[in-house]
Structures are given as C-alpha cells and as structure tokens.
A and B are shown apart, each in its own frame.
Chain A
Amino acid sequence: MDKVKIGTCWLDGCSGCHMSLLDVDESIVAILRKADIVFGPLVDAQEWPEGTDVAIVEGAVSSQDDRELVQTARARSKYLIALGDCAVTGNVPSMRNGIPVRKLLERIYVEGADESAGIPTDGVPPLLRQAEPLRQTVKVDLHVPGCPPRPNAILMVLSELLEGREPDLGSKLRFG
C-alpha cells in the first residue's frame, strides 16, 4: 500500500506547533511507517508536491507569501489541518489587527529603531491588512487549536487519519 503523503508548513507562527509535532517522540516512527513527510520545514523539498494527502498548516495568514503558500497547500492536498491557535484564531499575530500596517511598521522600524531606521522592503513579503485564521483564506477540514496543541492531541489526530477515521478532539480540545 502506498504511504500517506503529509506536507507541513508554518506561516505567521513561532514554530511551536512543529515542535509539538516532534514532541510525539518515538511515536513518530509508527506514523512514518504509514506516512511520508513530503514537504515542510522538517524536510528538504523545495516545492509543495501535487497529490499530497494531508496538509498540516501552522500560523496565521499574515503576508502575501503566507496566502500563496496556504493556497498552494490547499490546492495540492486532499485534507487540510489548521494546527494551533494562530492557524485557528489568528492568536498572537492577530494582536496587530487593530493597527493599520503602515503605522505598525513605522512604529517598530522607524520610531523604534536606534540605527538604520527604515521600513524593510527587500526580501520580505508585504504584510496583509490583518493576520487572519486559515479559514478566511482556504477551506479547512479540521481545526486543532492549542498554543501549542499538545503532542497527544496531534498524535491522536494523525493516528485517526492514518486509520481512515475522522478525528474527534473531544476532551483533547483546548485553547492556549
């Protein structure tokens, strides 16, 4: 039987959800007997491959690049998981949402700078007006909140999916 293809990515997040994924410890071996990680910060692939089965997305949609990446992940995956509070609610990245982008950048990179004041434009993607939960950009099949989601919740979700069942977070549901 072909292995299930899992892609992961992080948008406007802190990588904590990926850390929590790695925190399933040796259970990852059991997962990888049935699945391959085909894209993401944990592997080398440069392009999100077509025909991915499960996309695991950490972080809020906050920049042009975030938006393109999550749209690619969606288009090339059968099932998309919003992993963690940033992907589910916007969380900490969304705390800037009440402030216009221009004002925000000026406050930090001009008023707040001791030297070389100026808003960076080279090599950084333009920020969107607000940092948003994934569901405002793409269809999300499963929300797994938590900051980060606990390893046992992530393990349960992946194990259920690999068994062909729809995961139900039940008592493992938690925010923060």
Chain B
Amino acid sequence: MVEKVKVRIDGEVIAATAGQTILEVARANSKYIPALCHMEGLSATGACRLCVVEVSGVAKLVPACTTPVAEGQSVVTSTPQIESYRKIALELLFAERNHVCAVCVSSGHCELQALAQEHGVTHVRYPYSCPRLPVDTTHPRYVLDHNRCILCGRCVRTCAEIEGAHVWEVAGRGIGSRLVSELQRPWGEATTCTSCGKCVQACPTGAMAEKGWAVEEMTKHKTVVSRLTSMREGS
C-alpha cells in the first residue's frame, strides 16, 4: 500500500508518495530547483548544495535531493537567502579548481557554466586556490581533467550503480579530495574499467571527455543514465 502525503511547494498543495524526495516531487510538478550532483537514475548524495530549500519548522536550509517529503510539509524553493547560498556554492566550486571556460571542451555545454550564468554569477568573490592538478590521458578513448572536476560524484555513482564496475572513488579529505580510478591506478590501467563511457556522459563539466574534441565541441548524452535506469525498472 503506497502511502500518500500532501505537501505544499511554493504555496501550491501537491499530492506525493511517501519516500519521494522534495526534488523529485518538485520536478514532477514543474517546480524548478537547480541541482548539479543530482542525476535522474542515480542515488542522491546532497554534495553540491545547489538544491537547498526552505522547509517549514526547520531552522536551516536542507538539500531537496536527499530530504523526503512529509505530510503537511511546506517547502519554499527560492528566497533571497536561498539564492545567495546557491551563488556562494557556485562561486566556491569555481574558486576550488581551474575552470578555464575559454579552453574547455565542454564550454557552452557545461552544467556548472550554465548554472553560473543562470544565477547571475558575474564574478567569484573568493580568491582562486589555483591548485596544480594532473590530467589523466592514459585511457585510449577518454580523458580526465582534475582541473575541471567538482567532485559531484556522478561518475562514481554511474560506474557503481549502473555499470556495476565501481572503477571510480573519491579519495582524500576536504580540499584535498580527488577522484581516483581503481585504487589510484591511472585510468588507462584500471582493469575493472569496461570503457563503456557512461561516466563521461554523466559528468556535468569538462572533467571527463572523449578524446579528440576541441574547445566547445564535447556534447554529452545526459539521458543515458536515466534511460537505462527506467528501462531496467520497467522490465
């Protein structure tokens, strides 16, 4: 027996199913909440904090992608405070690595870039940390550029949950966190990698790309993951 709950999102009363997240319910009802680490078809982690919303009776903002709906809950998806926090989250992502849009294969097709433009991030108010980061070109078909990685974990979850290979993991702590393939082996030497390329398609930025593309040329097939998940659930 599916339990139904009633929630209010931006004032509108919406019928949802218990266990659904605020983000799922909002999107199913055409209420826009931005998100970066979330991808339909994958589990949610609440890493990017772009989907933060206000929930009645809760003092702090909560991520919509990991917060389940509850009976009588009232959610607000956008306030000046929420917008300012989303801007801060975006700016910190830019400050943390070297996102040089002008020389990126994904420029013009990048979710981080698009969200920054959408949120009016004309500049970053924090000093850039300018870390010196490697680019892993050892895989014959794909390239991993740590300069452009935002640690959203979409590749990690795609590989573990969809492909079942679990090549990717995040190692280290805090600002020193890095995406690693197979216990720090170069990607090209990872024996568990099936070269399926779904991680590349799931990556929101130019951190993962197919080889052979120049600036602005790498477009991704973002529906691969959600399509596979929904087809498997349907069978």
In the complex, which residues of chain B have a beta carbon less than 8 angstroms from the beta carbon of A169?
120, 122
Complex Cα distance, B181 from A155, in Å, reads: 47
Interface stretch among A51-59, A67-75, A110-118, A135-143?
A135-143
Select A89's contact among B108, B128, B132, B216, beta carbons within 8 Å.
Answer: B128
In the complex, which residues of chain B have a beta carbon less than 8 angstroms from the beta carbon of A174?
117
Decide yes or no: A136 and B127 within 8 Å by CB, A89-B94, A175-B116 being known contacts: yes
Q: Are B107 and A176 in contact (CB under 8 A)?
A: yes
Interface size class of A (residues with CB under 8 A): 20 to 34
Interface stretch among A25-33, A91-99, A120-128, A158-166?
A91-99
Q: Are B128 and A135 in contact (CB under 8 A)?
A: no
Distance of B149 from chain A, by nearest CB (Å): 15
Q: Are B103 and A88 in contact (CB under 8 A)?
A: no
Determine if A145 is an interface residue (Cβ-Cβ < 8 Å).
yes
Determine if A133 is an interface residue (Cβ-Cβ < 8 Å).
yes
Distance of A79 from chain B, by nearest CB (Å): 15
In the complex, which residues of chain B have a beta carbon less than 8 angstroms from the beta carbon of A92?
100, 102-103
In the complex, which residues of chain A have a beta carbon less than 8 angstroms from the beta carbon of B121?
173
Distance of A167 from chain B, by nearest CB (Å): 10
Complex Cα distance, B94 from A176, in Å, reads: 14
Select B101's contact among A144, A147, A173, beta carbons within 8 Å.
Answer: A147
Q: Are B108 and A88 in contact (CB under 8 A)?
A: no
Select A94's contact among B101, B113, B122, B130, beta carbons within 8 Å.
Answer: B130
Q: Are B102 and A147 in contact (CB under 8 A)?
A: yes
Decide yes or no: A94 and B216 within 8 Å by CB, A88-B123, A174-B117 being known contacts: no
Determine if B131 is an interface residue (Cβ-Cβ < 8 Å).
yes
Determine if A90 is an interface residue (Cβ-Cβ < 8 Å).
yes
Complex Cα distance, B131 from A99, in Å, reads: 9
Q: Are B130 and A97 in contact (CB under 8 A)?
A: yes
In the complex, which residue of chain B has the Cβ closest to the Cβ of A135? B123
Decide yes or no: A173 and B117 within 8 Å by CB, A82-B123, A91-B102, A94-B98 being known contacts: yes
Q: Are B108 and A176 in contact (CB under 8 A)?
A: yes
Q: Are A85 and B101 in contact (CB under 8 A)?
A: yes
Determine if A77 is an interface residue (Cβ-Cβ < 8 Å).
no
Q: Are B122 and A88 in contact (CB under 8 A)?
A: yes
In the complex, which residues of chain B have a beta carbon less than 8 angstroms from the beta carbon of A130?
130
Complex Cα distance, B121 from A149, in Å, reads: 15
In the complex, which residues of chain A have a beta carbon less than 8 angstroms from the beta carbon of B113?
175-176
Contact with A along B98-112 (1 / 0, CB 8 A): 101111100110000
In the complex, which residues of chain A have a beta carbon less than 8 angstroms from the beta carbon of B103?
92, 95
Select B122's contact among A90, A91, A173, beta carbons within 8 Å.
Answer: A173
Complex Cα distance, B117 from A85, in Å, reads: 13
Complex Cα distance, B128 from A133, in Å, reads: 9
Distance of B119 from chain A, by nearest CB (Å): 9
In the complex, which residue of chain B has the Cβ closest to the Cβ of A87? B123
Complex Cα distance, B98 from A98, in Å, reads: 10
Complex Cα distance, B108 from A88, in Å, reads: 18
Complex Cα distance, B128 from A94, in Å, reads: 10
8 Å CB interface, B83-103 against A: 94, 98, 100-103
Select A133's contact among B100, B117, B123, B131, beta carbons within 8 Å.
Answer: B123
In the complex, which residues of chain A have a beta carbon less than 8 angstroms from the beta carbon of B108?
176
Apart from A92-B103, A98-B131: 13 A-B pairs, beta carbons within 8 A: A89-B94, A89-B100, A92-B100, A99-B132, A130-B130, A142-B122, A174-B117, A175-B101, A175-B107, A175-B117, A176-B102, A176-B107, A176-B113
Residues of B near any A CB (own CB < 8 A): 94, 98, 100-104, 107-108, 113, 116-117, 120-124, 127-128, 130-133, 216
7 pairs of A and B residues whose beta carbons are closest in the complex: A176-B101, A98-B132, A147-B102, A97-B130, A176-B107, A143-B123, A143-B122
